[in-house]
Chains A and B, each alone.
Chain A
Amino acid sequence: MNDDVRRLLGGYATGTLTQAEQKELYEAALRDDLLFAALADEQALRDLLADPASRQRLLVKLNRKKQPTWSVPVAIAAMLVITVGAGMLWLRLNPPTQEVAMSVPRPAVSEPARPEAERQQPRQFKPEERKAVPSAPPRIPPPPSAIQVSSQAPKIAAPPAAALEIKQEAKQLAAPVAAEKTADLAAKVHYRFIESSEGLRVALTSTENGQLVVNSRAGRQTKLIFSTAAVPQTEYVVPSEGALPDNVSELIVTLDKTVFASRFAKPQAPAAARSAIRAEADQAAGSPYVLHIPIPKKD
C-alpha cells in the first residue's frame, strides 16, 4: 500500500478530501486490496459522521476544552486552602466565648453594688429614686470580669414579717401536741355502750377539742361512720341514728389534735396563715391519737 495515499484515509470518513485527493485515493484503492479494505472499514465511520446529529454532538464535545490531568488535584487543594483560610479568618473575627458557671458572693440587698469611688461618699438620692427604692429591691449587677459569668444563684425573697410571726406561733402551738402524743387517748375520750331495742350504740365524750372521727371495722373492711369537730365535755352518740351493724367487731376512734380545730377559729388569721399553721402542726404532731373500742358479741 502506498503510504502517501494511505495518509489520505483519515480524510475519507470526514469528507475532508478535495476532488484531487479523492481521485488519488480512489484510483489507488481500485488497484490495492488493502487500501480498498481500509476504505471499506472506514465506511462505518463515514456513515456515522454523515448523520448531522452525530456530527454536531461530537463537535460540541470537541469544542469543550479538555481538562488537564493535573487540574482536579489542584482544584481540590485550592478548595481546601480556601476553606481552611476562611475558617481561620472566622475564628479570628469571632473568638469563642467560654461560659463558666461559678457562685458569686451575693452582696447585701440593702446595699446595691456601686463603684468604689462612689462608695466613699454617701449617695445623694434623687426624689424619684427615693420613691422607687423601698418598693422593689434593686437589681444586683454582675461583678466586672473578663469572663462571661452565668450565675445560677436562686432569687431569695425576704419573707414577710407577718408570715414569720404566724410560723412561730404554729411551732409554739404544735410543741405541746407533740409532747402529748404518747398520752393515752382513753384519758381524753371516754366511751360507754348504749343498748336499746334497735341495737348497740356507743356514746363518746372528749375532754379536749379536736376532730373526732369514728370508723367501724367488720372483718377486713373499715367504714367511716362518724366525724365531727369535738367540743370538750360533750357526748356524741355513734351512730346518730339506728344501731351498729351486727358484724362490726370494733370501732376505731381518732382525735386529731393538729390544733387547727381550736386555732383556726381565729377570725384574723388569713388563709395563708392557716395553711402555715396546719403544716407546722401536722409536722409536729405526726399521726393522730387512736382508740380501739371492741364491740362485745351478742350471746
Chain B
Amino acid sequence: MQRDEVLRLLRERILAFATSRMQRESAEDLAQEVLMVLHDKYPHVKQMEELLPLSLQILRFKMVAQRRKALRRGEMTQASIDDLPLHDDAADPEAYVARREMLERLSAALDRLGERCRELFRLKLLGKTFAEIQSEMKAASINTVYTWDARCRKNLLDEMGGAWER
C-alpha cells in the first residue's frame, strides 16, 4: 500500500473518529493537523505499519491539546485567560497526574482479574508474543490465546469503567 493511499485512508478514519468525539469543524481541523504533522515531520515514514500507530499517537496528543486549549480559552469554563499560568516547557503536571491516576486505576483493576488474565497480562508486559504465550500457558492453539486475551481485555476494561482514560 502506498503512502498516499495510507494517508487518505487515515484521514477518513481520523475524521470519523474525531467527529464522534467533537464538533464537525473541529474534527476536520484535527484531521488536517495530524496529516500536516505526518507530512512535515515524518516524511520518511512510509510503511503502513508505522504510519498508523504514529498517526494514532499524534491524534491523541492533538485531542488532548485541543481540550486544553478549549479550557484555556474558556470555551467550557469561561475562565479568564489572565488567571491561567504561562506555558512551561517542563513536564506537563496535568499529563503526569493523569498518567499516574491511570496507572493506579489499572493496577487496581488488575487486582480484581482472575489468575489466568493476570498471568496473560504479565507475559504480554514481558514482551512475549501470542505464540510464546501459547507455549508458556500451554494453550491448545493460538486462537485460544487470542480468545483469552480478548476476554481478559474486556474484563479489564470493564473493571476500569469502560475506558482506559477518564
Contact = CB atoms under 8 A, between A and B. Distances in A.
Interface in B105-148: 106-107, 110-111, 115, 118-119, 121-122, 124-131, 133, 146-147
A19 B131 CA distance: 13
B165 interface: yes
A208 interface: no
A62 B48 contact: no
Contacts, number: 120
B149 A59 contact: no
B152 interface: yes
A66 B115 contact: yes
Given A29-B13, A49-B125, A58 B131 contact: no
A249 B102 CA distance: 108
B52 A26 contact: yes
B42 interface: no
B150 A59 contact: no
Determine the main DSSP class of B at the interface with A.
Answer: helix
Contact of B17 (A36, A49, A61): A36
A66 B164 contact: no
Given A14-B124, A26-B48, A36-B17, A58 B150 contact: no
Given A8-B146, A44-B165, A66-B118, A16 B129 contact: yes
Contact of A40 (B48, B56, B115): B56
B61 to A, nearest CB: 9
A19 B152 CA distance: 22
B60 interface: yes
Interface residues of B, number: 47
A221 interface: no
B81 interface: no
A22 B56 CA distance: 14
A18 interface: yes
A61 B104 CA distance: 11
Contacts of A15: 127
B149 A40 contact: no
A129 interface: no
A53 to B, nearest CB: 9
Interface in A1-45: 6-11, 14-19, 21-23, 26-27, 29-31, 33, 36-37, 39-45
B57 A47 contact: yes
B48 A23 contact: yes
Contacts of B152: 10
A57 interface: yes
A66 B129 contact: no
Q: Nearest 5 pairs between A and B by C-beta?
A: A10-B153, A14-B124, A62-B122, A36-B13, A10-B149
Given A40-B56, A62-B122, A66-B111, 12 more contacts: A11-B130, A11-B149, A17-B130, A43-B53, A43-B57, A48-B99, A48-B164, A58-B103, A59-B126, A61-B110, A63-B122, A66-B115
Interface of A: 6-11, 14-19, 21-23, 26-27, 29-31, 33, 36-37, 39-49, 51, 54-55, 57-59, 61-63, 66
28 contacts: A6-B150, A7-B146, A7-B147, A10-B149, A10-B152, A14-B121, A15-B127, A16-B124, A16-B128, A22-B49, A26-B48, A26-B53, A27-B48, A30-B9, A33-B17, A39-B52, A40-B17, A40-B56, A40-B59, A43-B59, A45-B106, A46-B53, A48-B164, A51-B99, A54-B99, A58-B110, A58-B121, A66-B115
